[in-house]
């Protein structure tokens, strides 16, 4: 697997990294996580990711027993361990950038939903070589499927919690793969477009970039927030607006945002092209600005 994993204070090779079957992350999907990546070896927008991890944890009454600095130390320790030459020979070639997943679960305990059943949370930090999406997905764009599986209702399982409970995503992605798409565009219970299964969604019309509001029931993406700030810096009108499937037909451009996908153009939704069916000018400007910011700053 080529990963190095920090588990509750111990470093392990990916193929030796295990947690107990009595961990409530495994039994009940009770846990939260963050996916980060490095640029020039530095975890990008680390502070924003930890802030979101804390918010997610708070929404499920999960203690976060470490400071931001302590977590950063653990992430760096794991990155360093991943960088160390391995005894078994040379590492596969990569550009040195890392994929980082921080997972915090309720921990190990009796089969009970009582909060005092688990004395301490489990913290896992997974570091592996970043496998960036292919260049063509950035230059030519991707196809998404508007799936039938709806985003979880906020009053059932709030999508603002970035939780380990990913069955909603798995079902949406199964449908997307069946339809030959690489991402699933999802609606909420009211039929409004909210986000992709693992990324946020933007539509451009008449020069304005629009993305659904958090109140529609979606994950507050760090890249979404960053791209809204970039749009403001670039003087591109941008807003949080309710979007319906009908809006796709009149869109000039669309794109998705996410930590590893950055700004990825969407050129088709199922068999319908978006706009001219190729990445548009506003998407490209935001993409270029994002690349520029990630090459000069780690936020
Ligand atoms: N929405 C969902 C459901 C996601 O899983 C992700 C990926 N974490 C995103 C949006 C994008 O979030 P971010 O920009 O923080 O990676």
What's the confidence (pLDDT) of residue 88? 52
Residue ranges and CATH numbers for the domains of the chain are: 4-129 (3.30.470.10), 135-298 (3.20.10.10)
Q: Is the pLDDT assigned to residue 93 strictly greater than 70? A: no
Give the ligand 1 atom nearest the CA of 200. 10
Give the E-state strand segments of the chain in sequence order: 4-7, 10-13, 31-39, 42-43, 98-105, 122-129, 142-146, 183-187, 193-196, 200-205, 208-211, 238-240, 253-258, 262-269, 272-273
pTM of the model: 0.95
Give residue 85's pLDDT: 75
- The strand ranges marked E within 28-157 are 31-39, 42-43, 98-105, 122-129, 142-146
Could you read off the pLDDT of 142-186 as tens digits, one per residue?
999 999 999 999 999 999 999 999 999 999 999 999 999 999 999
Ligand 1 in contact with 212 (CB < 6 A)? no
Q: State residue 215's pLDDT score.
A: 98
Distance of CA 218 from the midpoint of ligand 1 (Å)? 9
Q: What is the mean pLDDT of residues 216-244?
A: 98
Q: Say if residue 94's pLDDT is above 80.
A: no
Q: Is the CB of 257 under 6 A from ligand 1?
A: yes
Residue whose C-alpha is closest to residue 191's, from 147, 154, 132, 245: 245
User: What is the mean predicted confidence (pLDDT) over 194-209?
Assistant: 98
Alpha-carbon distances, residue 96 vs 20, 70, 126 (angstroms): 31, 23, 15
The alpha carbon of 35 and the centre of ligand 1 are apart by a number of angstroms equal to: 8
- Please report the pLDDT score of residue 298 as a whole number: 46
Ligand 1 neighbour 204 (Cβ under 6 A): no
13 has a pLDDT exceeding 70 = yes
């Amino acid at each position: 697997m080529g990963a190095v994993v920090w588990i509750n204070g111990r470093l392990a090779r990916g193929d030796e990294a295990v947690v107990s079957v009595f961990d409530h992350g495994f039994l009940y999907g009770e846990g939260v996580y963050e996916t980060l990546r490095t640029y020039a070896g530095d975890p990008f927008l680390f502070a924003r990711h930890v802030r979101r991890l804390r918010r997610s944890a708070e929404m499920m009454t999960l203690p976060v027993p470490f400071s931001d600095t302590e977590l950063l130390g653990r992430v760096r320790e794991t990155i360093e361990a991943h960088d160390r030459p391995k005894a078994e020979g040379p590492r596969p070639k990569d550009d040195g950038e890392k994929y980082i997943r921080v997972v915090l679960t309720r921990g190990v305990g009796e089969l009970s939903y009582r909060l005092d059943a688990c004395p301490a949370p489990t913290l896992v930090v997974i570091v592996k070589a970043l496998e960036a999406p292919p260049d063509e997905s950035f230059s030519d764009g991707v196809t998404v499927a508007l799936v039938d599986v709806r985003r979880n209702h906020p009053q059932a399982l709030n999508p603002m919690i970035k939780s380990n409970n990913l069955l909603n995503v798995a079902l949406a992605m199964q449908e997307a793969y069946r339809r030959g798409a690489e991402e699933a565009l999802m609606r909420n219970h009211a039929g409004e477009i909210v986000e992709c299964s693992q990324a946020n969604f933007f539509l451009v019309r008449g020069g304005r970039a629009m993305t659904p509001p958090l109140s529609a029931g979606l994950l507050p993406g760090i890249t979404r927030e960053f791209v809204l700030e970039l749009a403001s810096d670039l003087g591109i009108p941008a807003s949080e607006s309710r979007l319906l499937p009908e809006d796709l037909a009149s869109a000039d451009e669309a794109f998705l945002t996410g930590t590893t996908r950055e700004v990825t153009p969407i050129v088709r939704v199922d068999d319908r092209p978006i706009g001219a069916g190729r990445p548009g000018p506003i998407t490209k400007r935001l993409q270029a600005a994002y690349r520029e910011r990630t090459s000069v700053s780690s936020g």
